[in-house]
Amino acid sequence: MSADAKPTNVTILARKATSPGHVVYRAFVKETVVLNLETGKYHGLNPTAGRMLEAIEQAPTVGDAARRIAEHFDRSLDEVESDLCNLCRDLLGRGLIELADPEQS
């Protein structure tokens, strides 16, 4: 799924999120720093967004990550799904993640 597309929450939740090869990131105590090697731009994520990035990359789908996060932090699934989808749209727009069918990953 390209960065130009505006995916719906349903589409995002059914997809696998990965960082492309030109993106590297490192988590620190107060933020996660993400570098897009193609553009040379650094992006700072707060600790919550940094943990969400790690969770979506580790889970089979964004929806699976949402369920795990909601359970772990005792938050409503609807709230976590909405927050994750918004984060994914932002990261996708910056070229920091890609979304694919889980079978293709």
pLDDT by residue (tens digit) across 23-82?
999 999 999 999 999 999 999 999 999 999 999 999 999 999 999 999 999 999 999 999
User: What pTM was estimated for this model as a whole?
Assistant: 0.89
pLDDT of 105: 56
Q: Is the pLDDT of residue 1 over 90?
A: no
Give the pair of three-digit tokens for residue 47. Answer: 């600790």
Q: Is the pLDDT of residue 5 over 80?
A: no
CA distances for 54 relative to 4, 25, 80, 83, 87, angstroms = 23, 10, 15, 14, 12
Give the pair of three-digit tokens for residue 65. Answer: 């990550």
* Residue 93 · residue 7 · CB < 8 Å: no
Cα angle: 40, vertex 94, 19; to 5 degrees: 85
**In CATH, what number does 20-97 get?**
1.10.10.1150
Q: Beta-carbon neighbour count of residue 6 at 10 Å?
A: 9
